[in-house]
Every structure is written in C-alpha cells, then in structure tokens.
Homo-oligomer: A and B are copies of this chain.
Amino acid sequence: MSKKISSRAEDYSQWYNDLVIRGGLADYSPVRGCMVIKPYGYAIWENMKTVLDKKFKDTGHVNAYFPLFIPKSFLSKEAAHVEGFAKECAVVTHYRLMNDPNGKGIVVDPDAKLEEELIVRPTSETIIWHTYKNWITSYRDLPLLINQWANVVRWEMRTRLFLRTAEFLWQEGHTAHSTSQEAIAEAETMLDVYADFVEKWLAIPVLRGVKTPNERFAGAVETYCIEALMQDGKALQAGTSHFLGQNFAKAFEVQFMTKENKQEYVWATSWGVSTRLIGALLMAHSDDEGLVLPPKVAPLQVVIIPIFKNAEELNAVFDRVSSLMKTLKAQDISVKLNDDDQTRPGFKYAQYELEGVPVRIAIGPRDLVSGTAEVARRDTKEKQIVQIDDLETFVPALLDEIQANMFQKALKFREENTRRADTYEEFKRLLDEQPGFILAHYDGSPETEDKIKEDTKATIRCIPLNNPLEDGVCILTGKPSTQRVVFARAY
C-alpha cells in the first residue's frame, strides 16, 4: 500500500500487473496460466454480467448450460474449427486416482483410462451443435437463441492476468436460424450490443468491423469484432460475433423442415465476451496512481472518509451523512463510510485512489461547522468544496459526468493515436514511434497480411463497417486497393 505502483512510462507491463495485483483484482494461482479472481475483480465482472445478461434477454435470448467436457472426436468434425481450436487444450484421459502403491500420496489409476479422451471446452460450438441436432426439426423450432455463462480453457503458452489466461470466464451465445439473412442480422445485433455495452458502461470507444479471413474465428464465414485502443497504443479485441453460415450445421447434420416442406441446413451464429474485458477496462483508463473505474461498473462508487480524532467526532460525521447515504443507496449508488480508526485519512485516500473509486468525500469537524465537504473525483483528481446538503443531487450528477468524461478522454486518445500511413516506411516508423491504429491500404491477400505481420508484428484489426471507399495502393506490394483497413499491434 505504501509503495507506489510502477508508472506507465517506466514499465507499462509492470504497471498493468501492479494494477491487477495491488488493486486487489486478481492473484496468481499455483496452476500454470490460471488466476484467482479476487472479490474486488469479481465484483466488476458481476456488474458486467448483470448488464450484459439483461441486454441478451432484452434481445430475446435465454440462458442454458452445456457440458464442460467435449469428446475429442467432436473437435475434428468441422474442418476449419479443428485447425483453430483443437491444439492447445486441457485433455482429460483418466477418471480415477488411487493411493500410491509405492508409498505416499496419490497417483493416477492406470485402469481408469477413458476410452475416448475428453477435452475441457475451449469454446462450445461442437457440443452445442451436436445437441441442437436433437432440438431442431422444423422451422417452428427456429430461431433458437441461447447463451451460456461458463468457464473455458485454452492452454496458452504466454499468459497475462485477465488478458490471456488458460482458464477464463465468458459468455458464449449460440443461435440457430432458418435463413442466412436472419443469422447475419443476429451477428450484427450482438456486435451492436457489445459495442453499446463497452462504450456506455466501460467508457471505452470501439471500432466496429469485420476481420480479414486470416483473423477470422475458426469455422466462421464472417467474424465481426469490436476493437479498442489501449494507452500504450496497442489494440485489444474486446468482443467478437461470428456468422457461421451452415458450417456447423453441416458438420453435425442439423437440418430443419422449411415452411415449404424442404429439408435445409440451419444457419448459425456465435458471439462472446470474456473476463478479458476487465483487462481492457484497466488499460484504457487507469493512471500512475492506480485504477480509474467508470462509475457504471465500479463495485464501490462513492466513499465517505470521516476525519475524526474520537468516537464523538466520528459519530457527528456519521449522523450528518446518514440520510445522504440512504438517499444515494435508494438511487442504486453504492456508497460506504470508512470508519476504520487504525488508518490515517491520507492512507485511505491513497488506497481508494489505487482502487479507482470514482468519488471520494471527506468530512471533518470543521466541515460540519461550515456545512461543507471536500469532494474528489478520481478521473481528473480535481477536488471541490460542496455544501453537504447539496450532495444528494451533486453526487449522482458527478458520477454521470465522470462516466461521460472518461469516454471522451478515451475517445480523444484514440483519435490522437489513429494515423494514416501511405508507405511501408511510414507504417513501420509509426508503429515504433507513435503506436496506435494505423489506417493503410493493402491488397487484400492473406500473404500480404502475413508478411506485414512477420515484419512488424502488426495485424489487421478490422475492416470497419461502413468503411469509406478510397482508391490507393497496398503499402507492401503497391497493388491497387479500394479502402484503408485498420492495422495495429495487438494484445
């Protein structure tokens, strides 16, 4: 607590880890690549879940739950899917342990070997489409609009807290439709749901676009995505929504009877966001003092710190603010009075700054005499003196202002860090000297994309939706191009 966290300028990567660990959001675990999400971090995830779940239900979806394990053979049924997903997975091979016959501890019982290995789901398309086969026979069974909140495991070699962990929490929507158009509309609707959530709740502006074939989800016909820019100029994919065509329906033989009495394969989408969003939230807004949380997802929105020397002074503050606290709570604003008498106010200030609590109110004996309080906002660190009687209207308005300001600040940052490059030299120089989104022409071929990635580690983050057409030439090959796409180095 006493030691400051690393600064962004000093060591961006360490700064991020300090935010997560010292901010009390997560902890390393004894299992390689897996983390413990601590109560404060989990509370942010719960707030995200609550909002997203309501948005899913408001758009007609219901929740369900599918098994954690997937039979190994399922993964190879969809040709592209197996290439993209079947490799780095946790594999269950046995179902029993036994006492070590040679001494201490326990060992795997060699007799309890599974006939077919089970894979811990890296994503659930395969088991869900296997199941949908039994649920869908007629157009009357469609659309099927199902979401699942679950844990998934991908055995990543290089992991980072929240951003890339072997196990992570997410939601995955899996929908089935009778027409291609309806499925595409669904994939687009869910992209909009994600974009709206990330912009209005997390206060992070996003680009909406589609991926190039190289970056597409394994098994998708089109992958829609939202891309955000972090403070170090690297991009972060914040959510994806896939139009799967009939690929999974064909792989799992899911047909339906149309109104015209014909058998047709079902059209599909899938879409997901994960605890990775917490990583995005941290990197988009936080500063060298610690977290800066947007009020709409902050577990604690307002903290009141009484300045007191004895119980009498504490009680005086408490009496003065108790109706304020009640009024704020009635408006669903979370507020807490920190009456710890073992810790100095300055220490508390630093702690709440580190934890990113949006509004801090300090009230001492002299404030009570003058009827005022000192209100500090976390985003700009400005302080002002406010009449205590005005706080019940001032605080909700300030929370709204902070939310709006955080978005505007992040938007300004993105605008300032979105540049155009017309030559490969300029492109490479920008990546190294002023990293951010780079709008550039390319010739549309996977080979060019691969070569640029190999040279520069930059990838095409997306082709923005409603992208303006513009004649130009590919920065690498000089071949003609009709639009700029968005490049960046990415998380």
Contact = CB atoms under 8 A, between A and B. Distances in A.
B68 A151 contact: yes
Given A90-B118, A155-B95, A39 B63 contact: yes
B91 A75 contact: no
A263 interface: no
A36 B64 contact: yes
A27 B131 contact: yes
A71 interface: yes
B118 A31 contact: yes
Contacts of A89: 95-97
Interface in A112-135: 117-120, 127, 130-131, 134-135
A37 B124 CA distance: 14
Interface of A: 27, 29-31, 34-39, 42-43, 45-46, 62-76, 82, 86-98, 104-106, 108, 117-120, 127, 130-131, 134-135, 140, 146, 150-151, 153, 155, 167, 169, 342
B95 A92 contact: no
Given A31-B67, A34-B68, A63-B46, A97 B106 contact: no
Copies of this polypeptide in the complex: 2
A106 B69 contact: no
Listed from nearest, the 7 A-B pairs whose CB atoms lie closest are: A34-B67, A39-B62, A37-B65, A91-B94, A95-B155, A93-B93, A90-B92
A94 B93 contact: yes
Nearest to A120: B92
Contacts of A66: 29, 36-37
A71 B30 CA distance: 8
Contacts of A86: 97, 106
